[in-house]
Structure 1
Amino acid sequence: MGTELHVGADAEKTVVSAYALRTRTGRARRLRTGSLIESQPVLPSGRGREIRVTFLARVSLPLLFAGALLFVSGVPAWLLASVVLGTVGALGWLDRRRSQQAVFALPGEARVLRTREERAAFHRAVAAARRVRHTWPGLPGMIDPVSADRSLTQALDDLATVLVRRQEIRRLRAGLDGVRRQDVPDASRAVLALAEQRDRAERLWLETGEQANRILRAIDEAALAGESFLQEQRIGATARQAELALARLGAGAPPADAAPELADRTAAVVSAYRELADRESLLP
């Protein structure tokens, strides 16, 4: 594998390659995460042919008018025609690409996943790898990001290779299971050979399944380990902040007997005032 891994998925396939991916139709934007570059299709603009033709006609009019003015001023006609035609052609090509569904081309030595199950497994691994990379900024000094990034990308590359084998075995198993053997004796050499190939296909099927699951589990476990550690760090930080806040609040608390003492004094004053008022009312 090279230093980078390029991944792109359109409606019909997932392409994994050491080389940059390009689209045959439509457009895609690239998102880099370490040495993993994901090419994500851009939704088509939805502009139909009539709308695109109208747009080019509107663009052509001012270009023709400007060209006529330049021609009168002495600019060669062939140069003006080249500029106008080139501009209109480039705008038409870009507008048409924007209106198309993105379909990736196949670079040399690309791994192509077309079956639904294998595509889903690989995209799950890519999502888990993204989670792993998101934990690295919170783990300074604990891992070497360069080495870890290389290992993670290599794991995705290995998984793509295993899944390509697995989808081929899937097709082979389906073909072997679809062979009709009616009216053929069970002891026939052809039937025995078919059974042998079915057994071999089944062994390869189980082997590639184990390999793929081992890689998927490793990436998932790395993501969970990093996320669990970061969550533990956040919980610890919250506990420390709460401890400091509670210590501050406890140190500044007023004496517990201040309020009851105030209540007792107030009650005594009110009682004395009432007694005085009663005595005054009894005087002649």
Structure 2
Amino acid sequence: MAELFIGADTEKTVVSAYPLKTRTGRARRTRTGTVTELLPVTPSGRSREVRVAFLARLSLPLVLVSTLMFAAGLPSWLLAGIILVTVGLAGWDDRRRAQRTTFAIPRDSGARVLRTPEERAAYGRAVAVARRIRQTWPALPGMIDPEVADGTLTHALDDLATLLVRRQEIRALRTGLLGVRMADVPADSPAALALAEQRERTEQLWLDSAGQANRILRSIDETAQAGETFVRELRIGATARQAEHVLARLTAGAPPAESAPELASRTTVVLDAYRELAAAASLVP
């Protein structure tokens, strides 16, 4: 698996080995390793009336400049073309910024589209955990091969997307079979027996797909926790070593412990002697 492109809008999550395109709105690309995430950009919220007014204000200076250029000898068809292209591009971009982001479904057969909330949430969580795993790699130089680890992690996300697409199809089939009413059908009829058999097979597929998906999710979680724990241990060890150096310096430069008691003792002796002299002086007639 070379690369993986992931885009999620309000309707679906698209996973493909090829770059994704937006059907409406805009998206911001974030690349980590061989995984590129496309994150929707918040719409500008500008209404159609506001956009039309903006184009009208833009057209006025263009017409003025074109008039001056026409007077200078430029052909009118060229100036009209420049105005139309400029206004058209500005209007297209303004309209695109105001739209909600939706991703186009790739035409390649290998693209996976997740539409059910449960599968989308599971895959989104896996992508977020994979991002955490990649963030630990710079702190582990020489311990892992980033290229190999990145390929393995991307392959796991690719396998999970394929599995979740299959699981959402099983979910739809399972819901349809469970929704069939058999109140008026004899339990021993061929149709009822066939339906029961298909329900049993579907339920087994449902459980198997859950186990496979959970195994991948659990492995990704454990990898993230192991990496983050080790990074924390490295930081704690570095803090302990730094504290050891500071304590060694402070201990080596510490003043003798007897200095303060000796100073206090001498001060007391001097003050006592001064008091005795003062008392003797007061007794002299």
After TM superposition, the runs of 4+ consecutive aligned structure 1 residues lying more than 6 A away are: none
User: Counterparts in 2 of 1:1-284, with a 5 A limit?
Assistant: 1=1, 3-108=2-107, 109=109, 110-284=111-285
- Give the Cα–Cα distance (whole angstroms) in 2 for the partners of residues 64 and 243 of structure 1: 74
Amino acid paired to 2:152: S
- Give the Cα–Cα distance (whole angstroms) in 2 for the partners of residues 56 and 170 of structure 1: 49
Deviates more, 1:108-117 or 1:274-283: 274-283
What's the offset of the Cα at 1:41?
Answer: 0.7
1:233-254 per-position Cα deviation (integer Å, ceiling 9, x unaligned) = 1111111111111111111112
Structure 2: gaps spanning 5 or more residues: none
Aligned-residue RMSD, C-alpha: 1.0
**Secondary structure of the residue that 2:28 maps to in structure 1?**
strand
Deviates more, 1:37-46 or 1:63-72: 63-72
1:81-129 per-position Cα deviation (integer Å, ceiling 9, x unaligned) = 2111111111111110000000100002310101111000001000000
1:139-182 per-position Cα deviation (integer Å, ceiling 9, x unaligned) = 00111111111111110000000000001111111000000111
- Give the Cα–Cα distance (whole angstroms) in 2 for the partners of residues 239 and 166 of structure 1: 49
- Give the Cα–Cα distance (whole angstroms) in 2 for the partners of residues 141 and 128 of structure 1: 22
What's the offset of the Cα at 1:78?
Answer: 1.9
What's the offset of the Cα at 1:67?
Answer: 1.9
- Give the Cα–Cα distance (whole angstroms) in 2 for the partners of residues 57 and 196 of structure 1: 67
**Secondary structure of the residue that 1:7 maps to in structure 2?**
strand
Structure 1: gaps spanning 5 or more residues: none
Amino acid paired to 2:115: R
**Secondary structure of the residue that 1:15 maps to in structure 2?**
strand
Deviates more, 1:57-66 or 1:36-45: 57-66
What's the offset of the Cα at 1:75?
Answer: 2.1
Amino acid paired to 1:107: P
1:165-215 per-position Cα deviation (integer Å, ceiling 9, x unaligned) = 001111111000000111110001110110111111111111111111111
**Secondary structure of the residue that 1:98 maps to in structure 2?**
helix
- Give the Cα–Cα distance (whole angstroms) in 2 for the partners of residues 219 and 269 of structure 1: 75
**Secondary structure of the residue that 2:18 maps to in structure 1?**
coil
**Secondary structure of the residue that 1:185 maps to in structure 2?**
coil
- Give the Cα–Cα distance (whole angstroms) in 1 for the partners of residues 9 and 89 of structure 2: 25
Amino acid paired to 1:20: P
1:212-243 per-position Cα deviation (integer Å, ceiling 9, x unaligned) = 11111111111111111110011111111111
Amino acid paired to 1:103: T
- Give the Cα–Cα distance (whole angstroms) in 2 for the partners of residues 168 and 203 of structure 1: 14
Amino acid paired to 1:11: T
Q: TM-score, normalised by structure 1?
A: 0.97
Amino acid paired to 1:190: A
**Secondary structure of the residue that 2:74 maps to in structure 1?**
coil
What's the offset of the Cα at 1:64?
Answer: 1.6
Amino acid paired to 1:155: A
**Secondary structure of the residue that 1:159 maps to in structure 2?**
helix
Residue-pair matches, total: 283
**Secondary structure of the residue that 1:176 maps to in structure 2?**
helix
- Give the Cα–Cα distance (whole angstroms) in 1 for the partners of residues 25 and 262 of structure 2: 82
